[in-house]
């Protein structure tokens, strides 16, 4: 059978259109950049490194992004990003520095400035307004919360500083573990434990309750004022904390008691216990995140190498366990997950940094049920001993869809 020139032209054009549509459908589209801090570089005593991964919009699978960059110091332990996603900060415990990087639209990090802290940094958090960076350091003998002014992401001078001392136990050693800020910028919360009263394998010299949450109201010019009744008890060894996006609840993991503790936020930044808590987790919970919609909570259990998932009861904030497709209450990760992030673009993917697995585990989040399913080809290899993970939206994706 012979084709006319016109018929052949139509056939070729149709095939070309089909091929173009097929390739477009198969094209990998980046929805987020995921940044991971590794505790060491390629040699002993070398700088830490920050690795960049691109998350695929359809599958959540990660692929290697721009080349890794030095963290600007040794032993990075924590990272934070500003709410506009233009700036990243890393706390390097090995040389007492906090380093600022700008984030380009293609995920490239560029070192901008840094500050040196008086003691090793433990955790840090940039307030949603992008005006202050809160840095936790410890312990001499008590941990310290320092507030630094931010100007277009650059770290300025310290505008406030608070020592984490326990009333009635001024000589106790207070070890800080995590810091967060309410989405409305009105309050800062810090978790810490009293090493004088909780010291496995060591000497105990105090009868104080071990775990605490310190609360501070943020006033004019960044002034910090201890909230009434602060600090409040937080189990034995609180390890991480996260607020919900509506400023009503704060959740704290207790590493020693394997529990999630819930608080309601009252006026003047006061925290009250949720009456039906605490709530069971896996063993040694190390990180907690609330999804951007404020509907689900995810907790990493470092000893079990699992994640726990919870629904949030919106009227009360009470978490209830999400049962996965295999009728279990936990999701397996690679070895020792220590840090978690939910993708900020669509709130559809969860990633864990696995310290002993030298990897990232990825999960697809069902926005209706909170159930997680492993992403393609997970886990994803990383540098040695990852300690922290954060994510920012790719420039072609808005985040309005996940705003409560």
Inside any domain, residue 11: no
> For residue 282, which of 330, 238, 235 has the smallest C-alpha distance?
330
The total domain count for the chain is 1
Using left for φ > 0, alpha for ψ between -120 and 50, and beta otherwise, residue 58 falls in alpha
Other C-beta atoms closer than 10 Å to the C-beta of 254 total 24
- pLDDT for residue 35 is more than 90: yes
Tokens of 396: 């072609």
74, 48 contact by CB (below 8 A) = yes
9 inside domain: no
298 with 309: CB under 8 angstroms?
yes
Count the residues in the chain.
404
Asked whether 65 and 53 are in contact (CB, 8 A), the reply is yes
Quick check: pTM over 0.75?
A: yes
Q: Which two tokens stand for residue 82?
A: 């500003």
Q: What is the C-alpha separation between 166 and 136, in angstroms, rounded?
A: 16
Q: For residue 142, give the DSSP letter.
A: B
In sequence order, what DSSP letters do the residues of 254-301 get, joined into one string?
ETTTTEEEEEEE-GGG-EEE-TT--EE-SSSEEEEEE-TTSSEEEEEE
Q: Which two tokens stand for residue 400?
A: 């309005």
Q: How far apart are the first and last CA of the chain?
A: 62
The per-residue pLDDT for 399 is 54
Q: 13 falls in which pLDDT band (50, 70, 90)?
A: very low
How large is the average pLDDT for residues 75-94?
Answer: 97
Q: Which residue has the tokens 């699992």?
A: 306
Task: Provide the 3-class DSSP secondary structure of residue 86.
Answer: coil
Whole-number CA gyration radius for the chain: 23
Over residues 140-184, the pLDDT tens digits come to: 788 999 999 999 999 999 999 999 999 999 999 999 999 999 999
CA distances from 173 to 21, 210, 212 (A): 64, 10, 13
Amino acid 18: pLDDT: 42
* Residue that the structure tokens 């003998």 belong to: 141
> Which tokens in the block code for residue 89?
């900060």
pLDDT, tens only, 375-390: 999 999 999 999 999 9
Tokens standing for 147?
């507030």
The rounded distance, in Å, linking the Cα atoms of 212 and 234 is 5
Q: What angle do CA 77, 79, 85 make, to 5 degrees?
A: 170
- For residue 247, the domain's CATH number is 2.130.10.10
Domain that holds residue 319: 32-402
40 confidence band (pLDDT: 50, 70, 90): low
For residue range 351-363, list pLDDT tens digits in order: 999 999 999 999 9
Phi, psi of 239 (to 5 degrees): -120, -25
Q: What pLDDT band is residue 28 in, cutting at 50, 70 and 90? A: low
CA dihedral sign of residues 191, 50, 69, 92? positive
Beta strand pairing status for 144-151 and 154-163?
antiparallel
pLDDT value, residue 20: 36
For 145, the 3-state DSSP assignment is strand
Specify the DSSP class assigned to residue 28.
-
């Amino acid at each position: 059978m012979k084709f006319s020139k016109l018929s052949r032209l139509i056939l070729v054009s149709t095939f070309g259109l089909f091929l173009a549509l097929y390739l477009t459908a198969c094209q990998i589209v980046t929805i987020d950049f995921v940044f991971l801090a590794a505790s060491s570089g390629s040699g002993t005593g070398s700088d830490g490194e920050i690795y960049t991964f691109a998350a695929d919009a359809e599958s959540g699978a990660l692929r290697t992004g721009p080349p890794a960059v030095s963290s600007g110091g040794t032993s990075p332990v924590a990272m934070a990003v500003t709410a506009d996603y233009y700036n990243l900060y890393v706390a390097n415990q090995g040389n007492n520095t906090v380093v600022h990087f700008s984030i380009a639209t293609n995920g490239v990090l560029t070192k901008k400035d840094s500050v040196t802290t008086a003691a090793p940094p433990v955790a840090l958090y940039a307030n949603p307004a992008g005006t202050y960076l809160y840095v936790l350091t410890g312990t001499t003998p008590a941990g310290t919360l320092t507030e630094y002014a931010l100007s277009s992401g650059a770290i300025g001078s310290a505008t406030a500083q608070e020592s984490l001392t326990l009333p009635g136990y001024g000589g106790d050693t207070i070890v800080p573990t995590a810091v967060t800020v309410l989405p409305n910028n009105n309050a800062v919360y810090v978790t810490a434990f009293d090493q004088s009263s909780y010291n496995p394998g060591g000497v105990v010299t105090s009868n104080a309750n071990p775990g605490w949450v310190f609360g501070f109201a943020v006033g004019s010019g960044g002034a910090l004022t201890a909230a009434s009744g602060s600090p409040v008890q937080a189990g034995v060894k609180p390890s991480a904390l996260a607020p919900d996006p509506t400023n009503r609840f704060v959740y704290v993991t207790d590493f020693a008691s394997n529990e999630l503790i819930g608080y309601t936020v009252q006026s003047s930044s006061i925290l009250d216990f949720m009456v039906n808590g605490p709530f069971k987790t896996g063993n040694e919970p190390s990180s907690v995140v609330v999804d951007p919609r404020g509907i689900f909570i995810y907790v990493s259990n470092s000893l079990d190498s699992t994640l726990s998932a919870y629904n949030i009861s919106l009227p009360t904030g009470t978490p209830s366990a999400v049962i996965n497709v295999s009728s279990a209450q936990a999701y397996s990760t690679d070895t020792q997950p220590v840090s978690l992030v939910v993708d900020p673009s669509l709130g559809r993917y969860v990633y864990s940094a696995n310290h002993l697995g030298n990897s990232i585990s990825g999960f697809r989040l069902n926005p209706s049920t909170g159930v997680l399913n492993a992403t393609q080809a997970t886990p994803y290899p990383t540098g040695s001993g990852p300690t922290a993970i954060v994510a920012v939206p790719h420039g072609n994706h808005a985040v309005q869809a996940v705003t409560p």
